[in-house]
Amino acid sequence: MILLNAGFRPRRAFLFMVMSGAAAVVGGIAGYFLLAGAQALLPYALAVAAASFIYIALSDLLPELMRRAPMRDSLPDVGFVVIGVVIALLATSIEA
């Protein structure tokens, strides 16, 4: 949605999303091996990753949703964002 709104053609936006996904996989594998030797840093790395996703959702995507559609059409999308945050909070409060 962000790339299309920025003027990318659908095919180019798809290509950039594929490259982004591939970079995420490479980063995940690198993080797995880098954090394997530093288990004490894992909770902090996960907290930074979760905070980054929440920040992006709330600062970039949510205002765009509210601007593109009438309020009554955007409420389900906003509700899903809130549900995602609640699930994240519940997942972090469960002790292993």
Could you report the per-residue pLDDT of 49-78, keeping only the tens digit for each?
888 888 887 787 777 766 766 666 667 777
- Asked if 17 contacts 3 with a C-beta cutoff of 8 angstroms, the reply is yes
User: What's the number of CA atoms in the CB half-sphere (13 Å) around residue 95?
Assistant: 0
Q: What confidence tens digit (pLDDT) does each residue in 7-55 have?
A: 889 999 999 999 999 999 999 899 888 877 788 877 888 888 888 888 8
Alpha-carbon distance of 72 to 70, in angstroms, equals 6
Angle made by CA atoms 33, 34, 35, in degrees to the nearest 5: 95
pTM over 0.75: no
Angle made by CA atoms 25, 31, 32, in degrees to the nearest 5: 90
CA distances (Å), 66 to each of 33, 62, 81, in order?
Answer: 40, 6, 13
